[in-house]
Structure 1
Amino acid sequence: MDKAWKAARQGPVRDNVQLPSTYIMYVLGSGGHTGELCEMIKQQFRPNPGSHRRYIITSGDRHSINAVERLEGLISQAFPSGANGTSQGDSWDIVYVVRARSVHQPLYTAWFSALHSALSIVKALLHPPDVAAQTRLSKHNDGRSGRVKPFTYPDLIVTNGPGTGFIVCAMALMLKILWFMPADRCSVLFIETWAHVSTLSLTGKLFYYSRIADLFVVQHELLAERTGKRFIGDVTRHGNLLGIRKPFRREMPSLRPEEAKVR
């Protein structure tokens, strides 16, 4: 993970570099945020047996569930399981958390739902992948260099703007401060949504001023100039999670246009 994180800070990763097995947590938001992040995952995806993806979805967000199932279906088609039963597309799961605040919910009741949301997020951060996924990871890692034990905590949290993403990252920081989680887990990558060209979103401002993101990137040059943050271009056109710019070796069909971009 250290090598991958160093590469993310320095620039594009050579296509022949084998990335380490990682447990990545993606925080989805309804509508455009989900479509943008799923398209980014599809663009930058590399088969890496032994890795795990966890999608955090707020309760009642059926759109994100459908988008994730469609994405993972594309990945499994492009990278089917091998003869030994090991999936080239890695393992994945979905964990649901309570929405911090519903649309039009009165502010005087929002504190209770926000607290409930925070508790459900803590559970999502501390709950390891299921037994089946852990078994696959153990088989893959057995006798190999690097990680030997199954994953317990996320290596990386990726979010692109939904408010829930900030709460997830804040809870991860709190858990590390309180020693419930190792300090070298739950690094934070914040990608400002494509929809914000010259100003930061509310969630972007929270990450900007709190400085809890280990890596903060933007998709427009104007915003990069105004904030001093790294410009990476349109993540739905280029796989820029680790600075990868080459297209997917094995093409997968695009998601539906309305879900692929925030326009």
Structure 2
Amino acid sequence: MGFVLFSLVGITVLGMLLLLVIFRIYVIKSAQRGAMDKAWKAAQQGPVHDNARLPRTYIMYVLGSGGHTGELCEMIKQQFRPNPRSHRRYLITSGDRHSINAVERLEGLLSKAYPSDANGTSQRDSWDIVHVVRARRVHQPLYTAWFSALQSALSIVQALLCPPEAATGHRLSKGDDKLRVHAAPLTHPNLIVTNGPGTGFIVCLMAFVLKILGFIPTDRCCVLFIETWAHVSTLSLTGKLFYYSRIADLFAVQHEPLAEKTGKRYIGDVTRYGNLLGIRKPFRREVPKSQPEEAYVT
């Protein structure tokens, strides 16, 4: 009799926890997809003006080695608008030196294009790099991958919960990932952007779990997944994970055949037009009048 009673109590508690989780998921997805729908509609109204006052934001970009990193950096460059009240965080897996070099080149271009004014005030937002453990190395045996995957998840949780150390700032020295502190730090990312590396799905999944558990507010860590340009008519493995799990608040593709097949939003080639935010002109930097006007920044 006691065992039956204990079992009924256990089943009741588990059922209540399950209902609570389902309710949390509903609240989270309703709030975030509503916000992303508003952002999408605003983007369709026309280009973003250069002098528009942008909101204070904290965006996390998940980089993958090779083409994923190059594509995402180019997208950032084409869409960039200076906003000294905001922050960018680049999430890079351990050992990925290529992505570190790509980010430093990108930020170097932005620094030259938007230098500090006469008072030393930065015209652009701050940025930092955070390293996370790679979930599985190339040729790593599957029987050991679970341990590295657990390490990766823990490092990702730390990256999501650890706020940036600056609202406006710059590198202290080469190789130092910390920034000078000039204002109260931002807390959790407003938006997580990824375009296909496997780490991107783990990051977004951990952010979703943390929101369910209440460690991250429901209006933070919205997920924007942009399928890589290399996939024209089929989804990548990461794209399939986002497609079936539905944890992405906005799922976008860059080719019409793929949009027709999946029913996801078609945004065109974001690295050429930056049209995700309605921007139609390429990123340019100021050049001295004594020099001939160059083409676009490369």
The equivalent residue for 1:53 is: 88
Greater displacement, 160-169 / 99-108: 99-108
Compare CA radii of gyration and give the structure with the larger one.
2
The equivalent residue for 1:259 is: none
- Give the Å deviation of 1:107: 1.3
Larger relative contact order (CA 8 Å, sep ≥ 6): 1
Rounded Cα–Cα distance in structure 1 between residues aligned with 2:131 and 2:114: 26
In the alignment, structure 1 residue 163 sits paired with structure 2 residue 198: yes
* Cα RMSD for the two superposed structures: 2.0
- Give the Å deviation of 1:178: 0.6
The equivalent residue for 1:258 is: none
SS in 2 for 1:57: strand
Q: Is the 8 A contact 1:4 1:242 kept in 2?
A: no
Rounded Cα–Cα distance in structure 1 between residues aligned with 2:141 and 2:35: 46
Rounded Cα–Cα distance in structure 2 between residues aligned with 1:59 and 1:125: 16
Look up the equivalent residue of 1:169 and give its one-letter code. C
Look up the equivalent residue of 1:15 and give its one-letter code. V
TM-score by length of 2: 0.77
The equivalent residue for 2:47 is: 14
Rounded Cα–Cα distance in structure 2 between residues aligned with 1:246 and 1:31: 26
In the alignment, structure 1 residue 176 sits paired with structure 2 residue 211: yes
Which segments of 5 or more consecutive residues in structure 2 lack a partner in the other structure? 1-31, 170-178, 287-295
| 1:153-204: CA deviation from partner (whole Å, max 9, x where unpaired) | 1000000000000000001011111111111000000000000000000000
Rounded Cα–Cα distance in structure 2 between residues aligned with 1:58 and 1:183: 26
The equivalent residue for 2:175 is: none
Q: Is the 8 A contact 2:54 2:83 kept in 1?
A: yes
The equivalent residue for 2:60 is: 25
Aligned residues: 243
- Give the Å deviation of 1:3: 7.7
The list of structure 1 runs, each at least 4 consecutive aligned residues, that deviate by more than 4 angstroms after superposition, is: 1-5, 131-134
Q: Is the 8 A contact 2:48 2:278 kept in 1?
A: no
Q: Is the 8 A contact 2:43 2:276 kept in 1?
A: no
- Give the Å deviation of 1:50: 0.8
Greater displacement, 114-123 / 236-245: 236-245
- Give the Å deviation of 1:48: 0.9
TM-score by length of 1: 0.86
Look up the equivalent residue of 1:181 and give its one-letter code. I
Rounded Cα–Cα distance in structure 2 between residues aligned with 1:3 and 1:250: 32
Change (3 A) 1:243 1:109: farther
Rounded Cα–Cα distance in structure 1 between residues aligned with 2:280 and 2:240: 27
Rounded Cα–Cα distance in structure 2 between residues aligned with 1:3 and 1:217: 16
Q: Which of residues 185, 189, 198 is equivalent to 2:233?
A: 198
Rounded Cα–Cα distance in structure 2 between residues aligned with 1:123 and 1:80: 32
Rounded Cα–Cα distance in structure 1 between residues aligned with 2:40 and 2:181: 29
